[in-house]
Amino acid sequence: MDKRICCTCKVEKPLEEFYRNAKGAFGRHSRCISCTKIGLKATYKKLGKNHYLKATYGITEQDMKDLHTSQNGKCAICNTDINLSERNKRSACVDHCHTTGKVRALLCNHCNRGLGMFLDNPQLLRNAATYLEETK
């Protein structure tokens, strides 16, 4: 089994415990998933939500609240209630185009992850819908 040493905790771990980069490879100086999450949480607490939203999506916390209000507090895909305060499966996720960076809407965690799993590819999503309908 292939292993790698985390550049933060210096522990040798299996590759499954590291994120892959956009090309599907593991970086030479990569951090394990645990250290990455700890680093993100520390950064988030230190800089605050507004800074994170601005740096990541180009929006403010107020922009996110306005978007939430304009969507009546619902996910833009499945129409379930989403919240801005708690971090759980009903949390509001900022959906954005990975090519242009443009914010599209707020989604629940399930819908946001689903789009990501289908690589934001409409044809793959249509194929999946057809498959589900044909295999009922």
Q: Could you tell me if 29 and 46 are in contact, meaning their C-beta atoms sit under 8 angstroms apart?
A: no
Write down the pLDDT at residue 89.
Answer: 67
| φ, ψ at 93 (rounded to 5°) | -110, 140
Q: How far apart are the first and last CA of the chain?
A: 39
| φ, ψ at 8 (rounded to 5°) | -100, -60
Nearest to 96 by CA among 88, 84, 104: 104
Write down the pLDDT at residue 100.
Answer: 85
Question: Domain map of the chain by residue range?
Answer: 1-47, 49-136
Residue 115 binned pLDDT confidence (cut-offs 50, 70, 90): very high
3-state secondary structure of 96: strand
Of 3.60.20.10, 3.40.50.300, 3.30.470.10, 3.40.1800.10, the CATH number of 49-136 is 3.40.1800.10
* C-alpha span between 39 and 52 (Å, rounded): 13
pLDDT digits (tens, 9 = 90+) for 56-93: 888 999 999 999 999 999 999 999 999 998 777 688 99
Tell me the whole-structure pTM to 2 decimals: 0.65
3-state secondary structure of 51: helix
* C-alpha span between 97 and 83 (Å, rounded): 22
